Amino acid sequence: MAGRRIFNEQGAGAVLRFGLRVVSMRVRYGGDYNPEQWPREVWEQDVQLMQEAGVDLVTVGVFSWALLEPREGVFSFDWLRDVLDLLAGAGIGVDLATPTAAPPAWLSARYPDVLPIDPTGSRYSYGSRQAICVCSPNYRAKARAMVARLAAEVGSHPAVEMGHVHNEYACHVPYCYCDNHAKAFREWLAHRYGSLDNLNAAWGTTFWSQTYTDLDEVVPPRMTAAFVNPSLDLDYKRFCSDAFLEEFLEERTILKSARPDLAVTTNFMGFYRPLDYFQWAAHVDVVSTDNYADPADPEWPMYSAMHYDLSRGLNKDVPWMVMEQSASRVNWRSHNLPKQPGHMRAMSYQAVARGATGVLFFQWRASRAGAEKFHSAMVSHAGTASPVWAEVTELGSELASLDELENAPVEAKVAMVISWPSWWALEAPGQPSRDLLLADQLLWVYRPLYERGVTVDFCSPDERLDRYDAVIVPSLYLLSAGQAANLVSYVQAGGTVVASFWSGIVDECDSVYLGPYGGPLRPLMGCDVVDVAPLRSGETLELKWETGESGGGVFWADVIAECEGRVLARVTGGGLSGRPIVVESNYGDGRAYYVGSRLDAATTAHLFDLVPALRGDATSSRGGLAVERVVRAGPNWRYEFLINFAAEERELEVGAGGLELLTGVDVGPSVSLKPSGIVIIRHPVT
Ligand code: GLA
Ligand code: GLA
């Protein structure tokens, strides 16, 4: 496998082309457009400014329910049709949104069951957005009626290119605990388990006398006195993700039945725990995501890269795009720092480098009133006098010239496996360490790869992995037998897996695999994990590589008994002294590394140096956030993106060089990049 260039088969970089309609031949540019907040005179000006900025796609109608249905059953589409006409006249495409994320006041007032209930039994109030119980029959009926009317009235308008269902599903209230949820949960359970005996067995209800004698006794995990049954909690999380998905599919079906060729999306939020985005992404024609990396965090470029690598990976058969980013500040953190000059542009190219087919903003024009009036926008309160406007127009004109990136997917040879059910179960109460968070486990392994310029595809444990040279498995706590077989057969066929502690611990029901830990993943472990020993915060586990170097781990130690694997490193002090902590084993034609602690940065680097696919590239800088390098590779050309996130100018070797796409001039053999500087160098495929 090593040495073979492996591409994503499809997806990243592909043209947004669905059915009869061509949605995109270029990197799309635009944002949420909320004309309902403005008088008509402003609309004309908006469209002119959009043309000036190179905008060619806007999301319209996303929070317009109260205007589209001002009174129950009374609809008003003329204003929307006028907006669409204006946009069509200017050649600006529309991502038509369903307005179901913001039910109107009349709906919540008249049908209180559309409002969700918290775990204590209190009902949320209206007066904001997203106060939705997705299992409320009233909400569902009104949402269906609204979407059907929207599709019938304007779905076939020539401006409409895409359908945008709802907005950030589950964003503000991911879990509702009402009786409608309880009823739907019981139906979901009946379908999943078939019988009460199966349910009791799956949930281990003999523990703490939780046995159910009737399905109606099952309630959502509301306020409980002690830890809730984690198996119940896990299934409730599965059910809630599915319940939102069911509502999404209902809206999607209505949009598509009115217009079968419509490309439909809904905007995701990156690593958002409540929704299993792998499941969701199977039902969208375009993955879209909202990225608000915090400018106050010095590591924002890495967080942003990681968000994009996930978005690209959720469904590798469809394109992906940034549906929302901010032009500068947001207004919902406690301190909302602006983006520094050049950072918005750099972050946008970061998305394109990682395969995005569109870069859009929330929102087009900053609001005068409402909860987000101090959120930045493409058109600020100061209008075109704002420095943001210059950045917005510059980027729009540049993106218009990148058509040739079509069909040049992102080159990624390394996969990182994540699973939402495993995430849910891992972070349930009652674990050996309460601080065991998936985000920390992912960052531990993603950060050094990012710093080495190794591009990572996030993958589900259910998908085929044979396109990758190495697969990283950070704390995949919940693992089905089928998922484990997938990983094992990947190694058998010649792949390399690096797996960390607390992987393969429980089955799909959150019941422990007995024997030494690891369950169906044990063929790849080469050792027996006979117990676990979380460390104190700040404590270091000292270790020594067999080659003599010292190292350290933090947070956690597996208690490992040696067996057939080759011990690469052992603990050197304390009660675990002499025990293996990093073990290598051969399996079939491949190799696996098992790591029993969260190695510190230098020790992780040592481990990754052992694996060719994880060594990185000499042209990317090591040991700090500096120049990001990502390659998109098409049939004739390889496009090398270099983005300087360092605070000072950087000089880089670029081999023979080639045409630089943004300036249209040849560069090489070295290029110099100012802070936030970007080059896209086109190299011939050799
Ligand atoms: C208490 C309870 C036990 C068990 C332990 C756990 O002692 O009585 O049932 O929950 O805590 O430490
Ligand atoms: C989310 C929402 C938008 C807006 C932005 C603000 O992404 O989808 O409607 O609230 O946040 O950052």
- At 639-653, the pLDDT tens digits run 999 999 999 999 998
Question: Does residue 642 contact residue 350 with C-beta atoms inside 8 Å?
Answer: no
- Residue 195 CA to residue 240 CA, distance in Å, equals 21
Tokens of residue 184, six digits = 């739907």
The confidence score (pLDDT) of residue 325 equals 98
The whole-number average pLDDT for the span 491-505 is 98
96 CA from centroid of ligand 2 (Å): 16
pLDDT at residue 488 greater than cutoff 80: yes
Q: Is the CB of 362 under 6 A from ligand 2?
A: yes
pLDDT tops 70 at residue 22: no
pLDDT of residue 25: 56
Residue 584 annotated as catalytic: no
- Choice from 164, 171, 362, 365 to test ligand 2 binding pocket (greatest atom count within 8 A of CB): 362
Give the β-pairing of 414-417 and 456-459: parallel
pLDDT given at position 23 = 41
One-letter amino acid at 198 equals N
The model's pLDDT over 280-315, given as tens digits with 9 standing for 90+, comes to 999 999 999 999 999 999 999 999 999 999 999 999
Of the ligands numbered here, which is closest to the C-alpha atom of 227? Answer: 1
Of all protein residues, the one whose alpha carbon is nearest to atom 7 of ligand 2 is 290
Res. 621: pLDDT tops 80: no
What pLDDT, on a 0 to 100 scale, did the predictor assign at position 626?
A: 86
Query: Binning pLDDT at 50, 70 and 90, where does residue 11 land?
Result: very low
Q: What is the 3-state secondary structure (H, E, C) of 599-629?
A: ECHHHHHHHHHCCHHHCCCCCCCCCCCCEEE
CA atoms within 13 A on the CB side of 658: 16
Instruction: Answer yes or no: is pLDDT of 673 > 80.
Output: yes
The closest alpha carbon to 54, from 14, 12, 91, belongs to 91
Q: Atom 12 in ligand 2: which residue has the minimum CA distance?
A: 330
* pLDDT given at position 5: 24
- Using the mean position of ligand 2's atoms as its centre, give its distance from the Cα of residue 21 in Å: 28
Q: How confident is the model at residue 620 (pLDDT cuts 50, 70, 90)?
A: low
Does the pLDDT value for residue 617 go beyond 80?
no
599 closest CA partner among 512, 504, 472: 472
Contacts of residue 427, defined as CB under 8 A and 6 or more positions apart, other chains included, come to: 273, 436, 437, 438
CA 592 to chain centre: 27
pLDDT > 90 fraction of the chain, expressed in percent and rounded: 93
Which ligand minimizes its atom distance to the CA of 207?
Answer: 1
Ligand with smallest separation from the Cα of 225? 1
**294 in ligand 2 pocket by Cβ < 6 Å?**
no
Place of tokens 């809630």: 240
What interhelical angle do 300-314 and 438-451 show, nearest 10?
A: 100
- CA 324–ligand 2 middle distance (angstroms): 7
pLDDT for residue 6 is more than 80: no
Q: Is 169 in the pocket of ligand 2 (CB under 6 A)?
A: no
Which helix or strand (DSSP H or E) is residue 593 part of? Answer: strand 590-595
What confidence tens digit (pLDDT) does each residue in 247-286 have? 999 999 999 999 999 999 999 999 999 999 999 999 999 9
Residue 148: pLDDT over 90: yes
Mean pLDDT of the region 581-602: 98
Which of 63, 166, 168, 289 to mutate for ligand 2's pocket (most ligand atoms within 8 Å of CB)?
A: 168
Q: Distance from the CA of 290 to the center of ligand 2, in angstroms?
A: 8
Query: Per the structure block, which two tokens stand in for 365?
Result: 């024009």
What does the DSSP 8-state code read for residue 525? T
Give 614's contacts (C-beta < 8 A, 6+ positions apart). 414, 449, 452, 454, 470, 498, 608
**Mean pLDDT of all residues belonging to the chain:** 94
Strand 287-290 and strand 267-268: the pairing is parallel
pLDDT at 18 over 90: no
Tokens matching residue 517 = 């830990």
Calpha distance 659→111 (Å, rounded): 61
Given this model, what pLDDT does residue 406 score?
Answer: 84
Confidence at 420, pLDDT banded by 50, 70, 90: very high
Among candidate residues 69, 161, 251, 324, the one labeled active-site is 324
Q: 518 CA distance to ligand 1 centroid (A)?
A: 26
Please state, in angstroms and rounded to a whole number, the distance separating the CA atoms of residues 62 and 464.
36
Between CA 493 and CA 516 the distance in angstroms is 25
CA 239 – CA 202 distance, rounded (Å): 15
- Ligand 2 center from residue 132 Cα (angstroms): 17
Residue nearest atom 9 in ligand 2 by C-alpha distance:
362
pTM for this predicted structure:
0.95
Query: Is the pLDDT assigned to residue 8 strictly greater than 60?
Result: no
Question: For residue 466, which of 490, 492, 485 has the smallest C-alpha distance?
Answer: 490
Residue 411: pLDDT band with limits 50, 70, 90: very high
Ligand 1 midpoint to CA 475 (Å) = 27
Does ligand 2 come within 6 angstroms of the Cβ of 33? Answer: no
Question: Among 128, 294, 372, 376, which is best to mutate for testing ligand 2, by the most ligand atoms less than 8 A from CB?
Answer: 372
pLDDT of res. 10: 29
9 is known as an active-site residue? no
Atom of ligand 2 nearest to the CA of 290: 7
The CA distance from 421 to 77, in Å, is 42
Among residues 342, 350, 330, the alpha carbon closest in space to that of 390 is found at: 342
The Cα–Cα gap between 236 and 94 comes to 36
Sheet holding 93-97, edge to edge: 263-265, 160-164, 93-97, 57-60, 28-33, 358-361, 320-324, 287-290, 267-268
- CA distances to 34, 146, 157, 257 from 285, rounded to whole Å, are 24, 22, 19, 15
**Binding site membership of 167 for ligand 2 (Cβ less than 6 Å):** yes
146 pLDDT tier (thresholds 50, 70, 90): very high
**Alpha-carbon distances of 488 from 473, 498, 553, rounded to whole Å:** 12, 12, 26
Contact indicator for 30, 364 with CB cutoff of 8 Å = yes
pLDDT band of 4, cuts 50, 70, 90? very low
Record the tokens describing residue 46, joined without a space: 């908006």
Residue type, 466: D
Q: Indicate which ligand has the atom closest to the C-alpha of 164.
A: 2
Residue 292 Cβ inside 6 Å of ligand 2? The answer reads yes
The confidence score (pLDDT) of residue 625 equals 54
